[in-house]
Structures are given as structure tokens and as C-alpha cells.
Amino acid sequence: MRKNWLRGMLLGVSLALLLAAGVALAQGLTVTPDQDCFECYAGNGDGVPDEYELELTFDGYNPQYGGMLRLMMAGTLWDEGNFGIQLGPPCHGYLVVSCDDLQVHWSYDCGFESSEDGSSLGSGAAGWQYPPAEYGQWVFRFWQTNATGDVVAGPAYANFTFAAVCAEEVEFVPEPGTIALLGSGLAGLAGYAALRWRARS
């Protein structure tokens, strides 16, 4: 009786872990930054070096639904608004902060006409109306809604840091939590099979 209870518990936990891993892997909507930290740019005009421009890749979305974006800077809401996605997936957004006034410049290539500084995240205000950038961790949130405003996908998050000086970057390992869940679930199933085999012997 005790062995059956142990086997049942092991099977239940293993299946729950595998289900959680499957949900994580099936989550289609993603927003991925190309670096963990970026600094302000002191130059002017076009041709911003890559290390001063944060590129966000949006993927897994359905262009028939509306997009929504929110940017939190060091715990403070900077902007939230509609995101006109008509092309892709994937598509890209770009953040650059000027060093002289710490103003954020936002552009993206997700629509038929690219957006450059007309609005920050789609709310329609001019860029100079936004508060200056704050040093610290930024959180970028991306989700999709239907015509009635119901959430149909996401949210997906991107976390990165805006700093006066960035420390040396650590290599990014994608989806460690999902891999751990999947591995734990498979190990649990192997243990369950071993217990059943031992019980038959």
C-alpha cells in the first residue's frame, strides 16, 4: 500500500512538472532584448553604435490583434499604449537614450510605416513630453488584445538595465527554468518506471 502511494505521488508530481514545462515552451509571445545592459549615447544623428542602442525582438504575435506595450523604469511607469503591429512576426523596437538630457528615443519597424520619436510607446504624445530616463532595471511588457480589449496573448516581459556604466556582460542562457522543469519531470517519470519495474520483480 505504501509503495502504491509513493508511486502515485511520484507520477502526479512528474506529470505536473511536464505540464508546466509544456505550457512554458508553448508560450508563443516573446519580447527579447539583445543585451542585458545599455548606456546613454553622447553622439548625434544616425549611426548609433550597437552598444548604445537596445534592440527588442517581438515574436510569436498575431498581426490581426492589437499590441500593447508598457515600459517601467526603475519601478516608475514611463509610458503605456497601443503598439501598431502590422508586419511580421518577428519585428523590432529600438531604444536609445541621449546623454545630454536623458531623453528616450523609441522607434520600431513593425508597421507599414516605421515610427521614429513621434510617440514613445504608441500613446501619441511627443517625445519631449516624457520624463527623463532613470538609471536602474527597466521592465518592458508586451501583450495583445482583441477589439473588445480582452487579452488574447501574453503578457511577455523583457528585463534589462540602463546604467551610467555597464558591467561586463554575462553570457545569456535561454529558458533555464523551462529546461529545469522538463528535466525534473523526465527524471520523475524515470523514477516512477523504476519503482514499477522493481515491484514486478
- Nearest one of 68, 195, 73 to 134, comparing CA atoms: 73
Q: φ and ψ at 184, to 5 degrees?
A: -65, -40
Q: Are residues 23 and 63 in the same domain?
A: no
Query: Is pTM beyond 0.75 here?
Result: no
Q: Are residues 71 and 131 in the same domain?
A: yes
Q: φ and ψ at 120, to 5 degrees?
A: -80, -60
Q: Are residues 111 and 162 in the same domain?
A: yes
Q: Are residues 114 and 197 in the same domain?
A: no
DSSP three-state, residue 104: strand
Domains held by the chain: number: 2
pLDDT digits (tens, 9 = 90+) for 76-85: 888 888 888 8
- Residue 189: give the domain boundaries: 1-27+175-201
pLDDT digits (tens, 9 = 90+) for 123-163: 444 444 678 899 999 999 999 999 898 999 999 999 999 99
pLDDT digits (tens, 9 = 90+) for 20-57: 433 333 358 999 999 999 999 998 766 899 999 999 99
Q: Are residues 150 and 112 in the same domain?
A: yes
